[in-house]
């Protein structure tokens, strides 16, 4: 690919923004072991300082998502100021109804009115936080479901879910949104109350325009054509956000683009095709954990992977592709598609970064900065991410 072609997408690339999850900076692991990493943040302030490093070297990550109560602080206005002083903003607020004994048999779907109200109140508290942090989106992922056929009445749970979500939705401010994430299994193994995009679509459509679907790339059965779902949700105007990560087996939460770069490309092609790129209605977020690698470099690699694949998707020759498709030129269309995927954009991206005052190689610049060594020395007793243990 020539530099001239790259020039046509330079401005579009400059408008890319990828939100980082605060929990990516904490220690995480599996149910077998959580390894600690030197320099791990000890509180939300330090997580934000680390996230700001990713933005500083890449220019790609201007916002940080928080998780309540993992990131609960006394004064969210102060946390917001702290973020802004570090050159980033607070982003999506994630609720948490999966770590409380009361929610063993459900939260927003629970048959007991009092427990259901407790779960609703947690979300209302999250909305209060959003007013202080200036956040637009409330992201809801529910761990609810059952393990055995006959254990629960799936139908009434769906009805209670609608009622609970309606109460939460009614509390949203005019500029706020609710994004409902789906996941096909885990922690429940027989049925999950929001298992797929269809359920998330049905539930959010019943709420109204401020409710959208969140698509986490790790939350589908192996072999699922995720880009088809992206196309359909964009077509319906209901794709609110992405949780990017990659997986080999289940919800692995590995670095986006690491396991299947081609899948990431195919997804981004549909995003561009459907008007979801450079569109404030479609938030790009990461939802990852770094169990064995250093966290800041892990996040830098992640946003660079998304940027690189976005560049290739933007370079797809749409005119040639449409012509080949309409002529039923099967192999010709596939060749146009693969040409874009196989374009090496690394040198062009390095030059593009330098032209914008960013380091040509953000990873190298970060590693050379001494920040990693400094936090390893300064911080003792970093906290667990909260998730993944
Ligand atoms: C659990 O599967 C999960 O990974 C969801 O994807 C959420 O987005 C994330 O945790 C944080 O709650
Ligand atoms: Mn997620
Ligand atoms: Mn997940």
| Nearest-CA residue for atom 1 of ligand 1 | 141
User: pTM (2 decimals)?
Assistant: 0.97
ipTM: 0.97
Residues 6+ apart with CB under 8 A from 159: none
Residue with tokens 């954990």: 289
Ligand 1 pocket test: which of 287, 388, 389 has the largest number of ligand atoms within 8 Å of its C-beta? Answer: 287
The alpha carbon of 374 and the centre of ligand 2 are apart by a number of angstroms equal to 31
181 CA: nearest ligand 1 atom = 8
Ligand 1 contact via 216 beta carbon (within 6 Å): yes
Ligand 1 touching residue 94 (CB < 6 A): yes
**What are the phi and psi torsion angles at 65 (to 5°)?**
-85, 145
**350 Cα–ligand 3 center, Å:** 32
CB count within 10 Å of CB 344 equals 10
* Ligand 1 and 387: CB distance under 6 A: yes
Cα separation, 56 vs 50, whole angstroms? 10
Residues of the chain with pLDDT below 70 are 1-2, 387-389
Tell me the CA–centroid distance for residue 28 and ligand 3, in Å. 13
pLDDT of residue 140: 99
- Go through the domains of the chain in sequence order and give each one's CATH number: 14-299 (3.20.20.150)
183 in contact with ligand 1, CB cutoff 6 A: yes
CA-to-CA distance for 375 and 142, rounded, in angstroms? Answer: 34
243 ligand 1 Cβ < 6 A: yes
144 within ligand 1 shell (Cβ under 6 A) = no
Does the CB atom of residue 182 touch ligand 1 within 6 A?
A: no
Q: How many A from CA of 92 to the centre of ligand 1?
A: 13
CB atoms within 5 A of ion ligand 3 belong to 251
CA gap 126, 123 in Å, rounded: 5
pLDDT given for residue 2 in this prediction: 57
Q: Are 280 and 239 in contact (CB under 8 A)?
A: no
Nearest to 37 by CA among 377, 371, 382, 370: 382
Q: Whose CA is nearest to atom 3 of ligand 1?
A: 141
**140 contacts 189 by C-beta, under 8 angstroms:** no
Cβ-contact 230, 267 below 8 angstroms = yes
Q: Note the ligand closest to the C-alpha atom of 126.
A: 1
Quote the CA–CA distance of 345 and 314 in Å, as a whole number: 11
Centroid of ligand 3 to alpha carbon of 289 (angstroms): 10
Q: Residue 265: CB within 6 Å of ligand 1?
A: no
The Å distance, Cα 145 to ligand 1 centre, comes to 15
Residue 374: CA atoms inside 13 Å, Cβ hemisphere, count? Answer: 10
Q: Where are the beta strands (DSSP E) in 78-221?
A: 89-94, 137-141, 145-146, 177-181, 191-192, 211-216
């Amino acid at each position: 690919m020539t530099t001239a072609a790259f020039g046509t997408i330079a401005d579009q690339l400059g408008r890319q923004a990828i939100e980082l999850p605060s929990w990516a900076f904490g220690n995480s692991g599996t149910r077998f072991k959580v390894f600690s990493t030197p320099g791990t943040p000890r509180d939300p302030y330090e997580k934000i300082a680390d996230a700001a490093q990713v933005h500083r070297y890449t220019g790609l990550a201007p916002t940080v998502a928080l998780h309540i109560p993992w990131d609960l602080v006394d004064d969210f206005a102060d946390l917001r100021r702290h973020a802004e002083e570090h050159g980033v903003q607070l982003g999506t607020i994630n609720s948490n109804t999966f770590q409380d004994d009361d929610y063993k048999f459900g939260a927003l779907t629970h048959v007991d009115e009092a427990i259901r109200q407790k779960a609703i109140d947690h979300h209302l508290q999250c909305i209060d936080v959003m007013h202080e942090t200036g956040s637009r989106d409330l992201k809801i992922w529910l761990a609810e479901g059952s393990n055995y056929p006959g254990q629960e009445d799936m139908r009434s749970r769906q009805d209670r879910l609608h009622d609970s979500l309606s109460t939460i939705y009614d509390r949203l401010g005019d500029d706020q949104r609710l994004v409902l994430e789906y996941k096909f299994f885990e922690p429940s193994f027989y049925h999950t109350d929001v298992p797929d995009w269809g359920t998330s679509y049905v539930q959010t459509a019943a709420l109204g325009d401020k409710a959208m679907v969140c698509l986490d790339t790790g939350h589908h059965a192996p072999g699922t054509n995720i880009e088809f779902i992206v196309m359909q949700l964009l077509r319906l105007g209901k794709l609110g956000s992405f949780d990017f990560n990659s997986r080999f087996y289940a919800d692995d939460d590995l670095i986006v683009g690491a396991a299947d770069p081609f899948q990431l490309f195919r997804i981004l092609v549909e995003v561009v095709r459907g008007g979801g790129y450079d569109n404030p209605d479609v938030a790009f977020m990461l939802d990852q954990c770094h169990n064995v690698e250093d966290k800041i470099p892990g996040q830098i690699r992640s946003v660079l992977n998304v940027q690189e694949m976005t560049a290739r998707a933007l370079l797809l020759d749409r005119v040639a592709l449409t012509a080949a498709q309409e002529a039923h030129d099967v192999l010709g269309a596939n060749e146009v598609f693969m040409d874009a995927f196989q374009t090496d954009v690394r040198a062009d991206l390095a030059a593009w970064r330098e032209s914008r005052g960013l380091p040509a190689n953000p990873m190298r610049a970060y590693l050379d900065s001494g920040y990693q060594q400094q936090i390893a020395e300064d911080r003792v007793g970093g906290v667990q991410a909260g998730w993944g243990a």
